[in-house]
Structure 1
Amino acid sequence: MPEVLELCDDLPRVAEERSVLFSETALETFLSAAAKEYASITPNEPRSCFGVLLGTGAEGAFLVDRIEFGRNARTTSPAARQEFETTIVPRFGAAYENPVRAWWLDPADLLRISRLADLVGLDILGSIHLHPDWHRLGPESERGRPLSDRPSAMDEYVFRGCGWPINVVCYLERRHGSLYYSVAAWDGDCRPLPLRVRASVPGSRGE
C-alpha cells in the first residue's frame, strides 16, 4: 500500500459528486476475471480479483473505458508483509493473516499501467475489486459477516489512504445455480458515487 499511495499523490481528488459512467466491455472484462477467481474459492481461500480503472473525466462524470490487471504482491513485497503484520491484522483482525485475502498491487505493475495510460491517452481513475459471498463459501466464523458491494472496514482504510477518485466494489454470489453481481462506486472518502453502465444497444451512443 505505501507503494500505491506514493503514486496516488498526483491523482485528482474528488471535489464534488460526479457520476461514474462504466464501459460495458470494461465491466465484462472484470467480471470474466472475477468469475474465474470465484470458481477457485475454498473455505480457506477467499481469492481476490483487483483491477485498475483507466478513463477520463469530463462534464461532471468519470468515464471508465478500460481495466488493467496487475499482480498481487501481498506475500512477496517486504513492505506489504510489514503493513499487514503491524497495522492491518492488529486493526482489522486475524482473518487478514490469510495470504490470499486482500490485495497489494505490485508497484512495478502500477508503474506499467501508469505508462500504458499515458500512451493511450487515458488517466488512472481508481480501482475495482471483488467481494464474493464469503459468508456462504468461507469458514463458519464468517457466517455472520456478509460482504456486499459496500466497502469493508479494510476497504475504507485503503480508499482513504490512497485517495483515488473512484473505488468500485463488485459483489458476486451464486444463487439458484447462476452467478449474480452488483457494483457500487465510492469516492476517496468512502462516499457513494452514482454508477451507470453504458448500454450497448443500437442507437445508444451519443443520446
Structure 2
Amino acid sequence: MSTVGSVAFADPALLDAFIEAATGEYAACTPQEPPRCWALLLGSVEDGVAHVHRVRFARNVRDDSPVALDEFAENIVPCFGAAYANTRRGYWCDSTDLLAATREAESAGLELLGSVHLHPDWHRIGPPHERGLRISQHPTPMDAYLFRNTGWPVNIICYLSELDDRLHHTMAAWSSPAYDEPGASPAQLTIHMAVRV
C-alpha cells in the first residue's frame, strides 16, 4: 500500500450520498441506538496524494456476524469499554461486500483506499452517562485500533453536529498507524476538494 500525505476529491459530490445517509441515520437515532454510517473509498495514489474516485456503501454485519461478535466481546469491549457491547455501536463490513468492492476497484485499475464513517455529537444527543465523552472529527482510541488493523491509508471521519438549529458536517482524514507500533496515533491528512462550478 502506498504512503499517503493528502486526499483529493476531484468531485466533492462523491460524498453527497454519504452525507445524506449519515444525516438520515442521525435523524433516526436515539440515545440507546447510536447512528452509524460507513462506506468504502476506491481510488488511486499518485505522488503521495490519494485520489478518491468512488464511494461504495457496504452492509454492516456488526449485529450478527459471529466473527464480529467475538471480536467485540473478546477484544474491543475489554479494551475500549462497555459502551461497545451495544451492537448498534461500531461497524463490521460484510466480507462479500468488501470482496466485491475490491474486485470492482481492481477491474477499474483502482485500489481500495480506506473508508469514511460517521461521528455524531454524542456528547449532546447520547445517553446522560456518556455525555462527558467528547466526539469530533478526530479518531477515538477505538478508531485508531481499527485503522491500525485494516492498514488502509485513508480513513475519513465525518462529524455531524447541531449548531444554531442546523446540522453541520466537518470532515477530517487520517492515516493508519503502523501495525508494529501499537502506541502510534493516526496522522492527520489534508483533504483537497475541487471547487464546484
Q: Is the Cα contact below 8 Å between 2:40 and 2:114 reproduced in 1?
A: yes
Q: Which residue of 2 aligns with 1:124?
A: 112
Q: CA deviation at 1:13?
A: 4.6
- 2:7 is matched with which residue: 20, 41, 44? 20
Aligned residue number for residue 193 of structure 1: 189
Contact (CA 8 Å) 1:13, 1:164: kept in 2 or not? Answer: no
Query: 2:195 & 2:26 partners in 1: Cα distance?
Result: 26
CA offset digits 1:74-129 (Å, max 9, x no partner): 12211111001111011100100111101010111101111111233321100000
| 8 Å Cα contact 2:7/2:191 also seen in 1 | yes
Q: Which residue of 2 aligns with 1:163?
A: 151
Alignment gaps of 5+ in structure 1: 1-11, 202-207
SS in 2 for 1:194: strand
**1:107-146 mapped onto 2 (5 Å cutoff):** 107-146=95-134
With over 3 angstroms needed to count, the CA separation of the structure-2 counterparts of 1:63 and 1:13, relative to structure 1, is closer
Q: Partner of 1:6 in structure 2?
A: none
Residue identity opposite 1:19 in structure 2:
S
Residue 48 of structure 1: aligned partner: 36
Note the residue ranges of structure 2 that are not aligned, 5 or more in a row: 178-185
- Distance in 1, matches of 2:116 and 2:37, equals 8
Worse overlay, 141-150 or 111-120: 111-120
Identical positions, percent: 45
Residue aligning to 2:26: 38
Indicate conservation of the 8 Å contact 1:13/1:163, yes or no: no
TM-score, normalized by length of structure 2? 0.92
Q: Which amino acid aligns with 2:8?
A: L
2:68 to 80, 93, 109: 80
1:173·1:180 contact (CA, 8 Å) conserved in 2?
yes
Runs of 4+ in 1 over 6 A off after TM superposition: none
> What displacement does 1:197 show?
1.5
Residues 52 and 68 of structure 1 are in contact (CA less than 8 Å); yes or no, is this contact kept in structure 2?
A: yes
Secondary structure, aligned partner of 2:138:
coil
RMSD: 1.2
2:75 counterpart SS class = helix
Q: Corresponding residue for 1:61?
A: 49
CA distance in 2, matches of 1:54, 1:174: 30
Q: In the alignment, what sits opposite 1:4?
A: none
Q: Please state how far the C-alpha of 1:30 moved relative to its aligned partner.
A: 1.1
